[in-house]
Every structure is written in structure tokens, then in C-alpha cells.
Amino acid sequence: MKDKRVGYLLRVILIFIAYFATARIGLTLNAVNGFATLVWAPSGIALAALLIFGYRYWPGVFLAAFLINFVTGASLFVALAIGVGNTLEPLLGVYLLKQIGQFRRQLERVSDVISLLVLAALLSTAVSAMVGVSSLWLSGTVSAAAFASTWLAWWVGDMLGVLVAAPFILVWSTKKRTKLRPKQIAEAVIYATVLVGVSVIAFRGSQPLGIKPFTLAYVIFPILIWIALRFGQAGSVTATLGASLVAIWGTVVSFHPSATNTLSHRLLLLQSFIGISAVTFMTMAAVVAERERNQRQQIEMAQRTASLTQQRSRLLVLNQAKDEFISLASHQLRTPATSVKQYIGMLLEGYAGRLTKSQRKMLEVAYDSNERQLGVIDSILRVAQIDTGKIALKKEPVDLTKLVTEVLEGRASTIASRNQQVEFFPSNRNFVATIDKDKIKAALDNIIDNASKYSPPGKKLEVTLKRNKDTIAISVKDDGVGIVKKDAGKLFKKFSRIDNPLSVAANGTGLGLYWAKKVVDLHQGSISVKTTPNRGSTFTVKLTDPKV
């Protein structure tokens, strides 16, 4: 806790010293009415400090702003008021940047540069200028006639501090420490030397060359452009700050007062030039950063896409190998199971002699178990055929009324053994569709068997046929346990089983509905289900046949 307090205090003191020292320098540069200067780096320092460290470091700004104005000659009231205004400025700027602009200190997005310009440089600085100049006017330090010119000088000075000093601090505060190669250091030194030399000639002038100050100001643009392109935002904000310092120095030392020209007027022109330059080259560097970032993202996306494509290809190969293995294994399993069925059947028929009751009972149990195993194998084989694309449809016109009747007749004994009833009233209407009879029959058999299997004894099943133009719907309704909503999506997935009170008693592989849906899909039809827990389910198969 003590270390945190010491750290906080040290940062407040650091902000105070930086603010006070740069404010002292700015107020010496022909401040309008002694308090409004066109060179005011403290505004940028305060904004950057609160953005980096947080709102709670405002005391460093307030104390420095109050003290510098008090020692400059402001009364206690005016110094306090100016201190409040100068503190509100960075607080408002930070709030606007964080809440509205979603600001990032790296300034590598054009939106960040625009947010810094509009929200911090233009809007928040107007608060400080208004509070400060109003305090001076109320105290009689500034006349009403000089109010506008003083406010403009104050506002422009604060704005330039935000556009030049703040970006330099913010960008470098986010830079990771990297060891530069000798070639990079030499390149940076060369560019810095050229920029300083050209800036001196452009803003200081050169008597031997006959160059007046400011006549060649735009000569620095090609250098700043190249630095922004070569070194990014860090190079851009550093070069802009360096050029602005040289420009201010050159303007001040080369200035010669006259009746039509004042240092404040010259500095106003200079700061306008610097402000436009700062925004221009920050934007350029941000555009370059965004372009490079987009290119990296495109490369990464292309690499990720290629990787995913390779993985997909490998998975398809593995899936195909798995399906082929299951198909082969199922065929191999079916052969001995079929032989077992034949021999047990022959024993039950008495081909090996008369059986005792206990022998017959054991053989019947074995026969039933083998039948269930064959059913599982057949289910796996059917699914393997579907998944490997080795299934072929043999379509022919089929009367669906007769087809449903055959399925129900085949399930009659099973449904009766469960003490259940089926309602199906055959119709004379034309319910003919061109389908693969055996496969649709097997799908319907599975749906009807499930409806019976997952319904308690004594319940009723309803099977209906309906036509809607060229679509025939076969619905199977039960009064069974139903399915909760979250489990409904599992119904048609491979090896899926739904937990309900009858799951333990109901045997199954979880492949029947998966295979049924695949078969119906091959017929360009659909299967849907409407279900309510404890109130039953309704499965509907829709088959389309435009020829009907």
C-alpha cells in the first residue's frame, strides 16, 4: 500500500514539474495580455498524462496550472479559476476520447487521429480558454475589446499542445523496447539532421542564401511524408514535434517588429501551419498503419484458410476411411451372425432331434439375441452406405396408403404386445408417390416403432396421410413421454439417445432416425417433429412428387 502511495505521489510530482516548466517557457513567448500564449505544451502533457495514468492524477495538473498563473501575476481568485479550467480541459478530453471515440493511444487508426483532433484539440480546449479568459475579464485584467483575441490565442495555444505534444507522449508510451540495428540508427540520424537543417532554413531564414523566414516552409513536407511512410506514427509525431520546436525558435529569433506585424500574429500563422501539418502527417501514418494491418490480416486469413482446407481434406479422408471400415467390419460381422441364425433355427425346427423345454427356451433366447445383433449390424450397414454415398434409389410409383398399411401390419404383434392401439383410416384418395419403396418403408417402420417404443402401455398411436398440391405428408402421432426442447436437436444425429423414463427399457442404436432422415433427404423430402414433454410427439414425413 505504501509503495502505491509513493508511486502515485512521484507521478503527480512528475506531471507538476513537466507542466510548470513548459508553461513557464510558453508564457515568455509574447503571451497575449500576459496569460494567453500561442505556445502551450502543458495542454498536451496534461491530456497524455491523464490518458496514460488515469483521472486521479489531476492534482498535478491543477497545482501546476494554479501556481504558474499565480506567480505570473494573477490574483488568487483568478489563478484558482484558471487552474480549475486548465484541469477540466484534460479531464473532459480524456472522458470524450474514452467514451465517444473508443480511443487507442497508438494512433494507428484514422478514427483515433480524428477523435484527438475533434474531441480533445477542438472541444475540450475551448473549455479552458473560456474559463481562463472569462476569469481575466471579470478581474479586469482583460478588457472586453481584447476578449476575443485573448480567447483565440489561448485556444490555439492549447489546441497545438494537444496536437503536437500529446501524440508524441502517447505513441512513445505504447512502444515496446526494441534494439535498433546500426543501419536503422544511422538512417534515423540522417533524416533527423536533414529535417532540422531544412527547418532552420525554412523558419529562421538564411541571409547568405537570401532566404527570408517562412518563405520555404513547405519544403519540410517531403521529408515529413517520407518519415511518416518509413517510420510510421512514432517517426511522424517525433518529426512533427522536432520541426515545430525549430520553427518556433526560428520564428522568435528572426522576428523584427513593425507597425503591421507582431510576434503574436507571426506565431498564430506558424501554429496554424504546424497544426495542419501535425494532423496531416498523423493521418498519413495512421493510413499506412491500417493498410499494413489489413495486409497482415489478409495474409493471416489466407494462411488460416489454407490450413483449414488441409485439415478438412484430411478429415474427409479419415471419415471416408472410417465409413469404409465400418461397412467392411459390418459385412464381416453379418456373415457369422447369419450362420448362427440358420443353425439355431434348424435346431428349433427339430433337425437335430427333439428338444427339451429348457433347451428350447435357451435356444429361443439365443435366437432373439442374435436377431437383435443382426438388426444392429443392418442399421450400421445402412448408415455406412448412406455416409459413403454407396446407396442407390430404385424409384417407382408407390401407393402410400398401402405402404403404411403394410408397415402397420408388420408391427401389429409388437404394438399389441405393448397393449397399444393404432388409428389409421385408409383413404381412397390418390396418395401415390415415386419413391424407393423399400427404403421409405424402412424409414416409416422406424418412426412408427419409435412412437410405440417410447409410449407407455395403453396409449394410442395415430397415423394420417394428407395432400397439399404435389406434397404428401405422413404424420405419426403418439401420446408418449415427449422430448424436452433442448434435446429435440439430437433426434436426427448419429448415435444419439434422448434421456427419458423409457430409455432404459427401449433398445436401440441411435441410428434409426439418422438413417430415416438421410433417406428422406435423398428423396428431396423432409422430416420434422413437434413434441411436448409428457404429452407426446408428432413426426411428419413430407414427400414431393410433381408427377402426381
All three cell numbers of 165: 505534444
State how far the Cα of 497 lies from the Cα of 384, in Å rounded to an integer.
Answer: 19
Identify which of 63, 66, 26 has the alpha carbon closest to the alpha carbon of residue 42.
26
State how far the Cα of 517 lies from the Cα of 538, in Å rounded to an integer.
Answer: 15
Is 70 exceeded by the pLDDT of residue 1?
no
537 neighbors 451 (Cβ within 8 angstroms): yes
List the alpha helices (DSSP H) in 179-262.
Answer: 182-204, 220-253
State how far the Cα of 255 lies from the Cα of 249, in Å rounded to an integer.
Answer: 10
How distant, in Å, are the alpha carbons of 443, 497, 529 from that of 492? 12, 10, 10
Partners of 432 in the β-ladder? 399
State how far the Cα of 340 lies from the Cα of 370, in Å rounded to an integer.
Answer: 8
All three cell numbers of 391: 446407396
Identify which of 249, 284, 256, 296 has the alpha carbon closest to the alpha carbon of residue 270.
249
State how far the Cα of 484 lies from the Cα of 533, in Å rounded to an integer.
Answer: 5
List the alpha helices (DSSP H) in 349-426.
Answer: 357-387, 400-417
Identify which of 225, 224, 202, 228 has the alpha carbon closest to the alpha carbon of residue 215.
202
Is 70 exceeded by the pLDDT of residue 536?
yes
State how far the Cα of 458 lies from the Cα of 415, in Å rounded to an integer.
Answer: 10
Half-sphere exposure of 330 (CA within 13 A, CB side): 19
Half-sphere exposure of 498 (CA within 13 A, CB side): 23
Q: What is the pLDDT of residue 35?
A: 82
H-helix or E-strand spanning residue 54: none
What is the average pLDDT across 497-509? 53
Helix (H, G, I), strand (E, B) or coil at 257: coil
Q: What is the pLDDT of residue 344?
A: 84
DSSP state, residue 430? -
- Tell me what the pLDDT averaged over the chain comes to: 84
Q: What predicted TM-score, i.e. pTM, was given to this entire model?
A: 0.62
What band does 369 get if pLDDT is binned at 50, 70 and 90? confident
363 neighbors 341 (Cβ within 8 angstroms): no
For residue 306, what are the contacts with CB-CB under 8 A and spacing of at least 6? none
pLDDT > 90 fraction of the chain, expressed in percent and rounded: 31
Is 70 exceeded by the pLDDT of residue 546?
no
Query: Which architecture does CATH list for 1-175?
Result: Orthogonal Bundle (1.10)
pLDDT digits (tens, 9 = 90+) for 43-82: 999 999 999 999 999 999 999 999 999 998 889 999 999 9
All three cell numbers of 472: 404428401
What is the average pLDDT across 112-131? 93
Q: What is the pLDDT of residue 104?
A: 92
Q: What is the pLDDT of residue 159?
A: 93
State how far the Cα of 421 lies from the Cα of 514, in Å rounded to an integer.
Answer: 26
**What residues does each domain of the chain span?**
1-175, 318-387, 395-544
Task: Round to the nearest angstrom and report the end-to-end CA distance of the chain.
Answer: 85
Out of 237-246, 283-292, 498-507, pick the least confident.
498-507
Identify which of 393, 450, 390, 452 has the alpha carbon closest to the alpha carbon of residue 420.
452
Helix (H, G, I), strand (E, B) or coil at 432: strand
Q: What is the pLDDT of residue 218?
A: 85
Residue count of the chain: 548
511 neighbors 495 (Cβ within 8 angstroms): yes
pLDDT digits (tens, 9 = 90+) for 254-265: 877 665 567 777
User: Do the strands 460-468 and 471-477 form a parallel or antiparallel pair, or are they unpaired?
Assistant: antiparallel
Choose between 26 and 377: higher pLDDT. Answer: 26
Choose between 341 and 178: higher pLDDT. Answer: 341
Q: How many CB atoms lie within 10 A of CB 139?
A: 13
pLDDT digits (tens, 9 = 90+) for 388-445: 666 778 889 998 889 999 988 888 888 888 888 898 877 767 788 888 888 888 889 8
pLDDT digits (tens, 9 = 90+) for 128-155: 999 999 999 998 888 899 899 899 989 9
Burial 242-260 (b: 16+ CB within 10 A, else e): bbbbbbbebbbeebeeeee
Q: Quote the distance between the C-alpha of residue 402 and its chain's center.
A: 55
Q: What is the pLDDT of residue 504?
A: 41
Q: How many CB atoms lie within 10 A of CB 484?
A: 14
DSSP assignment of 482-546 equals ---GGGGGGTTSTT----STTTTT----S-HHHHHHHHHHHTT-EEEEEEETTTEEEEEEEEE-T
CATH code for residues 395-544: 3.30.565.10
